[in-house]
Amino acid sequence: MIAVLDTKWKLLDPTLANGSDQYALQQSDFYQMFAYGHHYFDQQITVREMFLVYPAHANFAPIAQHFAFPTPGKQPLRLWGVPFVIDKVNPRLALPEASRLYQACTKSYGFEG
């Protein structure tokens, strides 16, 4: 398994990038992804990435920094918030270049975030 992705149909707010607001991400979504990460990733995986996918809008670019969940005895879980561009001609997932999934896609398929 390379990554865990979960789609949310609510808009993020990039103006809430500091403090406890964190882009208007829901704490329940963090808990859900933490549980998914523990369930789906085995110990052989060195980079354990998860993605919350949200509809793209004018002010939402991929969040440059991931959120890290420390896990004793294992690599931390990394959670990214990414936009999905809903477009009839060119639908796409805008992955951050620092993510392993982005690197795997560009290397294997020539995709770009």
pLDDT tens per residue across span 94-107: 888 888 888 888 87
Number of folded domains that form the chain: 1
Which domain does 11 fall in, by range? 3-109
| Average pLDDT over the chain, rounded to an integer | 83
- The per-residue DSSP string of 44-93 comes to T-SSEEEEEEEE--TT----SS-EEE--TTSPPEEEEEEEEE--SS--EE
90 vs 18 pLDDT, higher one: 90
CA distance 86 to 75: 33
Instruction: Output b/e per residue, 11-20; b: 16+ Cβ within 10 A.
Output: ebeeeeeeee
Give the pLDDT band of residue 59 (cuts 50, 70, 90). confident
Can you give the pTM of this predicted structure?
A: 0.82
Choice between 65 and 35, residue whose per-residue pLDDT is larger? 35
